């Protein structure tokens, strides 16, 4: 299975040009306590049909990085640098009128908490059909509503024809997330960003939503960026993974390889803190300490205060992201040793 994944990733990589290229993304915020940096030099690209997982704890900058891509950060206070190319358009620097047409249409997003991300005052039918009315001017109200019903069927909402006139509060959390997904895939986007799409849901519903997203990606050939703190979800669905910590990329590479042989102590820590069925009487292992606050970022490697393998230089020199194997990078001074261990 792992080999098949690697083979598929390689095949995809050879065939298609990237649909989204993020280069040296920087996000900082002006706060009363000074300027704080939330995302620092994040680069990646994604090709059609590919799934990239962005893995990290809260505060790692994973959500902020996609907020910048989707134009959701107000500046001020946000200061955004770098480039995000969708095909040939730089989403960070192109005129707002141009990027607005791409957002929701070619690049769309599913939010963490669907219940608050849906407008409580408008019917779900209106909100889904609005995608066509806004991005496909000339679509009649009736056409758009019929398409909304079809989409609700596609995301497996029972009796869609009746429920199209319902308000969000009449739906469960899982059903609300399906409606968010319906809106996001309405115009068959090239890139779908899912920001913790299952965090607010019950475990059984989580699996259904992940399965739905995977199916939709397979049907449409869209690229999927999956943001999560759950390494299990990444392992199951993502072709490639990017591990973030303190606004920086700690490690990246094909998921199967990263999970099999992590190249960064933080990744090891994340994997060890996953509860397993066989560890009945063992205490759940966690990473000591807490993620850094943005206003007090540690010197050197941002992870060094919590790192089991830290050496004196870790607090002095910040390790840069280096290639450690084919298609794999790690930002650890001792990546080679970690990988070899």
Min. distance of Cβ 99 from other proteins in angstroms? 8
Would you say 38 or 331 has its CB closer to other proteins? 38
How far out from the chain centre does Cα 168 lie?
A: 24
Would you say 146 or 166 has its CB closer to other proteins? 166
Min. distance of Cβ 131 from other proteins in angstroms? 6
- Would you list the DSSP string of 35-76? EEEEEEEEEEEE-TT-EEEEE--TTSSHHHHHHHHTT-S-TT
Would you say 45 or 105 has its CB closer to other proteins? 105
Q: Is 169 in the site for other proteins (CB under 8 A)?
A: yes
Q: How many residues does the chain have?
A: 341
Q: Which stretch binds other proteins (CB under 8 A): 33-41, 116-124, 221-229, 233-241?
A: 116-124
Q: Is 116 in the site for other proteins (CB under 8 A)?
A: yes
Would you say 116 or 140 has its CB closer to other proteins? 116
Dist CA 174 CA 26 (whole Å): 33
Q: Is 57 in the site for other proteins (CB under 8 A)?
A: no
Q: Is 167 in the site for other proteins (CB under 8 A)?
A: yes
| Sheet architecture: strand order including 34-46 | 34-46, 20-31, 78-86, 89-90
Q: Is 63 in the site for other proteins (CB under 8 A)?
A: no
Q: Of 134, 297, 325, 336, which one interacts with other proteins (CB under 8 A)?
A: 134
Partners of residue 44 on adjacent β-strands: 22
Please name which of 272, 81, 109 lies closest in space to residue 190, comparing C-alpha atoms: 109
Q: Is 315 in the site for other proteins (CB under 8 A)?
A: no
In contact, 307 and 268? CB cutoff 8 Å = no
Q: Is 58 in the site for other proteins (CB under 8 A)?
A: no
Query: In the chain, what is the greatest distance between 2 CA atoms, to the nearest angstrom?
Result: 67
Would you say 166 or 322 has its CB closer to other proteins? 166
Dist CA 307 CA 305 (whole Å): 6
Q: Is 334 helix (H, G, I), strand (E, B) or coil?
A: coil
Give whole-number Cα distances, 214 to 160, 296, 330, in Å: 21, 38, 27
Please name which of 307, 313, 311 lies closest in space to residue 264, comparing C-alpha atoms: 307
Q: Is 264 in the site for other proteins (CB under 8 A)?
A: no
Dist CA 102 CA 140 (whole Å): 21
Min. distance of Cβ 165 from other proteins in angstroms? 10
Would you say 116 or 320 has its CB closer to other proteins? 116
Would you say 30 or 119 has its CB closer to other proteins? 119
Please count the other Cβ atoms lying within 10 Å of the Cβ belonging to residue 19. 21
Q: Is 101 in the site for other proteins (CB under 8 A)?
A: yes
Would you say 36 or 115 has its CB closer to other proteins? 115
Site size toward other proteins (CB under 8 A) is 29
Q: Which two tokens stand for residue 91?
A: 């989403």
Q: How is residue 57 annotated by DSSP?
A: -
Q: Of 57, 90, 113, 236, which one interacts with other proteins (CB under 8 A)?
A: 113
Q: Which stretch binds other proteins (CB under 8 A): 23-31, 96-104, 196-204, 276-284?
A: 96-104
Q: Of 8, 83, 135, 156, which one interacts with other proteins (CB under 8 A)?
A: 135
Q: Which stretch binds other proteins (CB under 8 A): 115-123, 279-287, 304-312, 326-334?
A: 115-123
Dist CA 153 CA 294 (whole Å): 43
Would you say 130 or 236 has its CB closer to other proteins? 130
Please count the other Cβ atoms lying within 10 Å of the Cβ belonging to residue 138. 7
Partners of residue 28 on adjacent β-strands: 37, 79
Q: Is 178 helix (H, G, I), strand (E, B) or coil?
A: helix
Residues that bind other proteins (CB under 8 A): 70-72, 100-105, 108-109, 111, 113, 116-122, 130-131, 134-135, 167, 169, 180, 183-184
């Amino acid at each position: 299975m792992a080999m098949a994944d690697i083979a598929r990733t390689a095949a995809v990589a050879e065939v298609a040009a990237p649909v989204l290229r993020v280069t040296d993304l920087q996000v900082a915020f002006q706060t009363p306590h000074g300027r704080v940096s939330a995302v620092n030099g994040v680069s990646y690209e994604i090709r059609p049909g590919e799934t990239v997982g962005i893995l990290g704890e809260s505060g790692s900058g994973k959500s902020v990085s996609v907020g910048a891509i989707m134009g959701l950060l107000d500046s001020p206070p946000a200061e955004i640098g770098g480039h995000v190319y969708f095909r040939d358009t730089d989403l960070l620097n192109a005129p707002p009128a141009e990027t607005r047409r791409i957002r929701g249409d070619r690049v769309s997003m599913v939010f963490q908490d669907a219940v608050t991300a849906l407008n409580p005052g408008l019917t779900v039918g209106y909100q889904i059909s609005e995608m066509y009315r806004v991005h496909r001017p000339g679509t009649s109200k009736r056409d758009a509503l019929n398409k909304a019903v079809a989409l609700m069927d596609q995301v497996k909402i029972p009796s869609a024809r009746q429920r199209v006139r319902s308000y969000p509060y009449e739906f469960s959390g899982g059903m609300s997330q399906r409606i968010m997904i319906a809106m996001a895939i309405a115009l068959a986007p090239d890139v779908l960003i899912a920001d913790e799409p299952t965090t607010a849901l019950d475990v059984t519903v989580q699996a259904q939503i992940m399965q739905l997203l995977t199916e939709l990606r397979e049907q449409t050939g869209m690229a999927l960026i999956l943001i999560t703190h759950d390494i299990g979800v990444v392992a199951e669905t993502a072709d490639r993974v990017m591990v973030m910590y303190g606004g920086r990329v700690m490690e990246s590479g094909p998921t199967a390889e990263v999970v099999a042989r992590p190249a960064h102590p933080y990744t090891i820590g994340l994997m060890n803190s996953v509860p397993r069925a066989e560890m009945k009487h063992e205490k759940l292992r966690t990473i000591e300490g807490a993620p850094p606050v943005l206003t007090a970022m540690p010197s050197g490697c941002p992870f060094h205060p919590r790192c089991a393998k830290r050496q004196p230089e870790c607090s002095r020199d910040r390790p840069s992201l280096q290639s450690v194997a084919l298609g794999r990078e790690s930002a650890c001074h001792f990546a080679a040793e970690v990988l070899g261990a």
